[in-house]
């Protein structure tokens, strides 16, 4: 038996919409605020925004993105960099409030060789983690199990981001 004969199948028909669907021209992170809800943007400031990752590692996987289209943090003016990082911290707080993760992976992939899927528009990944959140599927099957639909995760997180935007203490 070859390794391919022993592979198991996972049924994920929703992926066909992405595979066969139209691909946006230009940068996937450069869009008008009018499409924020459709694109799962949880909060937008003058210089940055936070959105759910449509292809998450775990529930609540966020992307925090400067509005300015740059490929490296050094290309941002200092004030925009500071505001972007403040939004990273606020996003962690919103996740703690909403879904109570036990830890986080936070980081950037700068350049294709570093794993950046979008290498010309920097963004920070915030991946909430729980003890035992991954099992053998990711290791043996190269499959990640996500146990909540993105629209449900969006609805769960949105109130915390709205509270922050309104300046209401936790």
Asked if residue 8 belongs to a domain, the reply is no
Please determine, for residue 32, whether its predicted confidence score (pLDDT) is greater than 80: yes
How many structural domains comprise the chain?
1
**Distance separating alpha carbons of residues 137 and 120, to the nearest angstrom:** 31
Domain range enclosing 42? 15-166
Catalytic pick among 61, 72, 121, 123 = 123
Asked if residue 81 belongs to a domain, the reply is yes
**What CATH code is carried by the domain that includes residue 34?**
3.30.428.10
Spatial CA neighbour of 66 closest among 56, 75, 57: 75
Please determine, for residue 43, whether its predicted confidence score (pLDDT) is greater than 60: yes
Active-site residue, 123 included:
yes
Entry pTM:
0.79
Asked if residue 55 belongs to a domain, the reply is yes
Asked if residue 3 belongs to a domain, the reply is no
Asked if residue 4 belongs to a domain, the reply is no
pLDDT band at 139 (very low <50, low <70, confident <90, very high): very low
Asked if residue 88 belongs to a domain, the reply is yes
Chain-centre distance for alpha carbon 18 = 17
């Amino acid at each position: 038996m070859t390794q391919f004969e022993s592979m198991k199948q996972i049924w994920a028909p929703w992926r066909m919409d992405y595979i066969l669907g139209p691909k946006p021209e230009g940068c996937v992170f450069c869009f008008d605020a009018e499409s924020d809800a459709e694109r799962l943007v949880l909060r937008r400031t003058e210089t940055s925004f936070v959105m759910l990752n449509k292809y998450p590692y775990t529930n609540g996987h966020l992307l925090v993105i400067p509005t300015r289209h740059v490929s490296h943090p050094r290309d941002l003016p200092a004030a925009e960099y500071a505001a972007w990082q403040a939004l990273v911290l606020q996003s962690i707080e919103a996740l703690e409030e909403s879904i109570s993760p036990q830890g986080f992976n936070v980081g950037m992939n700068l350049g294709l060789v570093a794993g950046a899927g979008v290498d010309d528009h920097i963004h920070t990944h915030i991946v909430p983690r729980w003890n035992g959140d991954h099992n053998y599927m990711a290791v043996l099957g190269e499959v990640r199990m996500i146990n909540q639909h993105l629209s449900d995760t969006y609805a769960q997180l949105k109130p915390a981001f709205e509270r922050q935007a309104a300046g209401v203490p936790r």
